Chain A
């Protein structure tokens, strides 16, 4: 079964809006939470990552919020642009384990 649950499956946001993708996990041994961005016909690429010792990490318009007690983390895309239209995957792993991916969220930003 999927160890990282991701929602929504897809979302449509207007240019300038905020895109929010949520992920939840059960394994408390997970200590590294990356997000990957994938454009159509391409392989995924690391976008941003967080460890559970911080509650938030921001890189440009992309922010990860992390709630350790709830075992949830989310990606916020501020001021969404058409170029952000892609599929986003959350993932989780512990120090030595295989990366566990969420099911992915297809984001479409309309002009």
Chain B
């Protein structure tokens, strides 16, 4: 079955540590996205990539980094510079970038900073 796999589902981190969230898709989609979800704030775009080896900052990129070395993979690193990293992180993809494309989401990764 085609879809997006995010791992780990739950992650605990001590302050000052970097963590990397995995996102893999087998939909053959060109574009991939990372969103952050906080209660009462909806979904906010962190980074997006419309093609391999290229990515752009979204609305809240500070404290995060990404890479897109393969079409099917778009890992997100939450660095120690992110001041409030505890959140639910969602990876998504579309056949092409932006516009009226249906986002396919993964099941999410919940990060808790202790």
Which residues of A are interface residues toward B (Cβ below 8 A)?
2, 6, 9, 31-32, 34, 36, 41-46, 49, 51, 89, 93-99, 101-104
Contacts and interface: CB of A to CB of B under 8 A. Distances in A.
Contacts of A36: 103
B43 A93 contact: no
Contacts, number: 57
A9 B41 CA distance: 10
B98 A93 contact: yes
| Best-surrounded residue of A36, A96, A97, A104 (most CB of chain B within 10 A) | A104
Contacts of B42: 2, 6, 89, 101-104
Given A2-B42, A95-B100, A103-B40, 13 more contacts: A32-B99, A34-B102, A42-B107, A43-B4, A43-B105, A43-B107, A46-B102, A49-B100, A49-B102, A51-B100, A95-B99, A99-B98, A103-B41
B100 A41 contact: no
Interface of B: 4, 40-45, 48, 58-59, 90, 92, 98-100, 102-103, 105-108
A95 B105 CA distance: 20
Contact of A44 (B45, B48, B59, B90): B90
Given A103-B42, A104-B40, A43 B108 contact: yes
A32 to B, nearest CB: 4
16 contacts: A31-B100, A32-B99, A34-B102, A42-B107, A43-B106, A44-B43, A44-B90, A46-B102, A46-B103, A49-B100, A51-B100, A89-B42, A93-B100, A95-B100, A96-B98, A97-B98
Nearest to B110: A41
A97 B48 CA distance: 12
B69 to A, nearest CB: 23
A11 B98 CA distance: 31
Contact of A96 (B92, B99, B107): B99
B105 A44 contact: yes
Contacts of B108: 41-43
A96 B48 CA distance: 14
Contacts of B4: 43
